[in-house]
Homo-oligomer: A and B are copies of this chain.
Amino acid sequence: MEKKVAEIVKLLKAKGYNITHSRNIMIRLFVETEKHLKPEEVYDLAKDQGISLPTVYRNIDVLKKTGVIKEITINNDRFYELHIYSQKKLHIHFRCNRCGNIRDYNNRNIFKKMIQQKDYIEETFGDHVEDISIVMRGICRDCHETG
């Protein structure tokens, strides 16, 4: 955890950003939270430590620009998650329609298959694909069992 934070701090400094109180807090938040967070949620988790909502937005921008976090949009809601340790161009998410949880599928087999599809598409249609975002929706295992 501290090691990750230190790396991110180093990266931000290298890109010319100051490490302020609120950036420190937000970095830690994203490092220690596994969930995908909305700006509002980041604010809720950080406001008692003295961070304003505009600052949350501004620092989300900074973290996004520097590649520390990544934005995904599901049903018109924006979420952010730590991205720096997975500089992938391929993101596969599952969102449960019942509990709202979002999980990432990080599975080598699936990735491999998806890359094959990408190659096939580039060949077939001539478009150059730079990144892929897959959102699956349905009922997660837990809700399925309890529901």
Contact = CB atoms under 8 A, between A and B. Distances in A.
A6 interface: no
B130 A139 contact: yes
A109 B118 contact: no
Contact of A121 (B78, B105, B137): B105
A110 interface: yes
A144 interface: yes
Nearest to A93: B133
Which size class do A's interface residues fall under? 35 or more
Chain multiplicity (copies): 2
A93 to B, nearest CB: 10
A45 interface: no
B136 A135 contact: no
A85 interface: no
A1 interface: no
Given A120-B109, A132-B135, A127 B144 contact: yes
A18 interface: no
Contact of A127 (B73, B78, B130, B139): B139
